[in-house]
Amino acid sequence: MELTVYNLKGEKTAKTVQLSDSIFNIEPNDHAIYLDTKQYLANQRQGTHSSKEKSMLSGSTRKLKKQKGTGSARAGSIKSPIMRGGARVFGPQPRDYSFKLNKKLKQLARLSALTHKAKDNSIMVLEDLNFDKPKTRHFVELLENLKLSDKKILLVLGEPNKDVYLSSRNLRHARVIRACDLNTYEILRAHNLIFLESSVAEIEKTFEN
State the residue range of the domain holding 86: 47-96
Same domain for 77 and 136:
no
Same domain for 154 and 177:
yes
Same domain for 25 and 80:
no
**Predicted model pTM:** 0.82
CA proximity to 122, closest of 162, 154, 149, 98:
154
Confidence tier at 191 by pLDDT (50, 70, 90): very high
Q: Looking at residues 194-202, what average pLDDT do you find?
A: 90
What percent of the chain clears pLDDT 90, i.e. is strictly above it? 56
DSSP the chain: -EEEEE-TTS-EEEEEEEPPHHHHSS---HHHHHHHHHHHHHHH---------GGG-----S-SS-SSSSSS-----TTSTTSTT---TT------------HHHHHHHHHHHHHHHHHTT-EEEE-----SS--HHHHHHHHHHTT-TTS-EEEEESS--HHHHHHHTT-TTEEEEEGGG--HHHHHH-SEEEEEHHHHHHHHHHH--
**139 burial via Cβ count (<10 Å: 0-12, 13-18, 19+):** buried
Q: How many residues does the chain have?
A: 209
Instruction: Give how many domains the chain has, as a whole number.
Output: 2
Same domain for 91 and 130:
no
Same domain for 162 and 85:
no
Check residue 98 and give its pLDDT: 94
Same domain for 54 and 117:
no
CATH number at residue 162: 3.40.1370.10
Asked whether residue 45 carries a pLDDT value surpassing 90, the answer given is yes
pLDDT digits (tens, 9 = 90+) for 126-143: 988 888 888 999 999 999
Asked whether residue 209 carries a pLDDT value surpassing 70, the answer given is no
Same domain for 141 and 52:
no
Asked whether residue 49 carries a pLDDT value surpassing 90, the answer given is yes
pLDDT digits (tens, 9 = 90+) for 167-184: 999 999 999 999 989 999
